[in-house]
């Protein structure tokens, strides 16, 4: 089977990136984390002082876009891709709580989404790519051969993010994380620009009770079925 485009969408902390990275490694495909791209813009705006106390003017964010260069590079130690902002590895910084608190508002800006979608489509023009985000199957790659929509129990998602912050030495409460996730869910599903929706031809993957290995096995099986159906 020739290489395909795989789009993975879903709610925050559903493990989209984890699955996408594992799948890309398994298939020897390129991987692109669209969420990390929006986080980079948010981080850059925070560093420039454009975002203050959770408030900003959209036009100030838009002015920064020409200054931002994004790329993904394979990390042999972690065996996954790291995100680079203007040649700086910011994989850790873009996961900070302050970035999480502002990224949904930044990603809702029309000009930001147009800019990012152009980059994402360029990355996937030759197929052989796994990309995860909020609108990959519904908007960025509407013709993707395989679309996955991920979901999971809210408390399970909160615990996963809590464990992630704890492992990185960040002191954030369980309740604050849950509030942030619910807020992002609402903003992502209600924004005017390409909201988070399940594409009509997407396969739902509820991973509440599934291990990482089981999730990978589930999607690999879908790819094999797709391959046989094309013969």
Helix (H) or strand (E) holding 96: none
Do residues 29 and 219 make contact, with C-beta atoms less than 8 angstroms apart?
Answer: no
Within its chain, how far is the Cα of 175 from the centroid?
Answer: 23
Give the helix/strand (H/E) hosting 128.
Answer: none
Distance CA 24, CA 27 (A): 5
Pairing of strands 203-206, 80-85: unpaired
At 69 the pLDDT is 93
pLDDT value of residue 80: 74
Token pair, residue 96, equals: 């900070």
Q: What is the pLDDT of residues 37-62, one digit of tens each?
A: 999 999 999 999 999 988 999 999 99
In the chain the domains, ranked by start, together with CATH numbers, are 5-223 (3.40.50.300)
Predicted local confidence at residue 204, as pLDDT? 98
Looking at residue 64, its pLDDT comes to 97
Question: What pLDDT does residue 1 have?
Answer: 64
What SS3 class is residue 66? Answer: helix
> Mind listing the pLDDT tens digit for each residue in 200-229?
999 999 999 999 999 999 999 999 998 877
Residue 13, C-beta contacts closer than 8 angstroms, at least 6 positions apart: 152, 157, 158, 160, 161, 181
For position 201, what pLDDT does the model report? Answer: 96
Which stretches of the chain drop beneath a pLDDT of 70? 1, 230-231
Q: What is the pTM of this model?
A: 0.81
Residue 73, pLDDT score: 80
Res 207: pLDDT: 96
State which H helix or E strand residue 33 sits in: strand 30-33
DSSP annotation of 145 reads S
Q: Please, which residues bridge with residue 206 across strands? A: 151
Nearest by Cα to 33 from 100, 111, 102, 130: 130
Q: What's residue 58's pLDDT?
A: 94
Q: What per-residue string of b and e applies to 36-53 under the rule 16 or more CB within 10 Å gives b? A: bbbbbbbbbbbeeebbee
The pLDDT assigned to 77 comes to: 78
Residue 153's pLDDT is what?
A: 97
């Amino acid at each position: 089977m020739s290489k395909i485009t795989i789009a993975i969408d879903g709610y925050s902390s559903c493990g989209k990136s984890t699955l996408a990275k594992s799948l890309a490694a398994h298939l020897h495909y390129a991987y692109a984390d669209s969420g990390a791209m929006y986080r980079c813009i948010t981080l850059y705006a925070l560093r420039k002082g454009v975002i203050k106390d959770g408030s900003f003017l959209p036009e100030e964010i838009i002015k920064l876009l020409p200054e931002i260069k994004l790329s993904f590079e394979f990390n042999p130690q972690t065996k996954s891709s790291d995100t680079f902002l203007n040649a700086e590895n910011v994989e850790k910084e873009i996961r900070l709580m302050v970035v999480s608190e502002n990224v949904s508002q930044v990603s809702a800006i029309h000009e930001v989404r147009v800019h990012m979608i152009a980059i994402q489509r360029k990355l996937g023009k030759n197929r052989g790519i796994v990309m995860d985000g909020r609108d990959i199957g519904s908007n960025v790659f509407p013709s993707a051969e395989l679309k996955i929509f991920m979901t999971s129990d809210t408390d399970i998602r909160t615990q996963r993010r809590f464990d992630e912050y704890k492992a990185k030495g960040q002191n954030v409460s369980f309740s604050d994380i849950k509030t942030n996730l619910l807020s992002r869910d609402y903003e992502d599903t209600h924004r005017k620009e390409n909201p988070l929706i399940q594409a009509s031809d997407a396969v739902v993957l509820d991973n509440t009770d599934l291990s990482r290995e089981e999730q990978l096995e589930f999607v690999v099986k879908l790819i094999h079925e797709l391959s046989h159906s094309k013969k």
